[in-house]
Amino acid sequence: MNPIKIKQIIDPIETSDGAGVKLKRSIGTSQIDYFDPFLMLDEFGSENPEDYIKGFPPHPHRGIETVTYMLNGEFEHKDSAGGQGKMSPGDVQWMKTGRGIIHSEMPAMENGKLHGFQLWINMPSDLKKNKPEYLYIDSEKIPCYQDNEKSIKIIAGEYSYIKGSVTNHNVNPTYFDVELEEGKIFDFEIPEENNSFIYLVEGRIRIGDEENNDLESSKLILLEKGNKLMVASETKSKFLLISGKPIREPIARGGPFVMNTREEVQQAIQDFNNGSFAKY
């Protein structure tokens, strides 16, 4: 076994997106622009409606997957393909935008706490040409492993022979929400080719045999390649473990469009401006 060590610890930056939703961004910044296949990770969360009430009005995407995971509050989704739904606490929306979609994500609440995450995953060049696809996962349908030491929601991947709802995916993703009691250990085997990270939501943890007393809430922890992950909790802790196989293709970014070349990004912008975008 090859123990997994810490590659880099990143403090998210505070920023805003959409129509002014305040959030913390940890991937897609000057510190870590791209962690193949992951393009962006945002944590949004506030009890102040002014921080989220204007939401994310209609906007386009092409060439990426967006994974939205709600912890608190409600979002309503609408899109140009006729899809519509409401996300409640614990729900997941896994959207493959393919060759293009226009959608909105707006708070379905006027007050209270809104808290969740959005992850962007790159798509290989051949899948960027596909029609959009959705996977809605209700919270009660997310498989869960539980014992006296830990609770693991398995959104993608497999733990203790329990498989998540996302299967047969090109990057073989793992997406776990782990709650670990104080003084307990979570260990897990990860394919050595994968790029992996932990996002510490709350608590204090230690990874492997390293002394890292600054691993506290709201930190992104990029992991070195290896296959044996061990996380020990110094306090009761909650974290996301996310892992995936690199795509290893060139990327060109243009706001909500991520393609392989600048010419393809320009084409996406042209398609959106001339009204031919998201026409199936």
Q: Tell me the whole-structure pTM to 2 decimals.
A: 0.95
- Residue 83: predicted pLDDT: 79
85 membership: H or E segment, kind and range: strand 84-87
Residue 14 has, within 13 A of its CA and on its CB side, a CA count of 4
How far apart (Å, rounded) are the C-alpha atoms in residues 171 and 157?
11
Whether the pLDDT of residue 232 is over 90: the answer is yes
**φ, ψ (nearest 5 deg) of residue 27:** -120, 140
- Residue 212: predicted pLDDT: 61
In a domain, 258, yes or no: yes
DSSP label of 63 = S
Range of the domain at 55: 6-274
191 cis-preceded (ω within 30 degrees of 0): no
- Of 36-45, 57-66, 67-76, 103-112, the range with the lowest mean pLDDT is 103-112
How far apart (Å, rounded) are the C-alpha atoms in residues 6 and 153?
23
Interval 62-81: pLDDT, tens: 999 999 999 999 999 888 88
In a domain, 264, yes or no: yes
Interval 18-33: pLDDT, tens: 889 899 999 999 999 9
In a domain, 142, yes or no: yes
Are 107 and 70 within 8 A, CB to CB?
no
Residues 6+ apart with CB under 8 A from 48: none
- Residue 217: predicted pLDDT: 83
In a domain, 222, yes or no: yes
- Residue 280: predicted pLDDT: 65
Number of domains observed in the structure of the chain: 1
Beta-ladder partners of 124: none
- Cα 253–Cα 168–Cα 244 angle in degrees, nearest 5: 45
Interval 130-139: pLDDT, tens: 999 989 999 9
How far apart (Å, rounded) are the C-alpha atoms in residues 201 and 178?
10
DSSP label of 271 = H
- Candidates 133, 123, 159; CA nearest to 144 is 159
In a domain, 127, yes or no: yes
- Sign, CA torsion 245/155/207/191: negative
171 membership: H or E segment, kind and range: none
Domain at 227, CATH number: 2.60.120.10
- Residue 275: predicted pLDDT: 81
- Residue 260: predicted pLDDT: 97
Three-state DSSP class for 46?
A: strand
In a domain, 279, yes or no: no
- Residue 213: predicted pLDDT: 58
- Residue 81: predicted pLDDT: 80
- Residue 264: predicted pLDDT: 96
Q: Span 214-237, mean pLDDT? A: 91
Interval 242-266: pLDDT, tens: 999 999 999 999 999 999 999 999 9
Beta-ladder partners of 72: 115
Whether the pLDDT of residue 194 is over 90: the answer is yes
- Of 1-5, 80-84, 213-217, 262-266, the range with the lowest mean pLDDT is 213-217
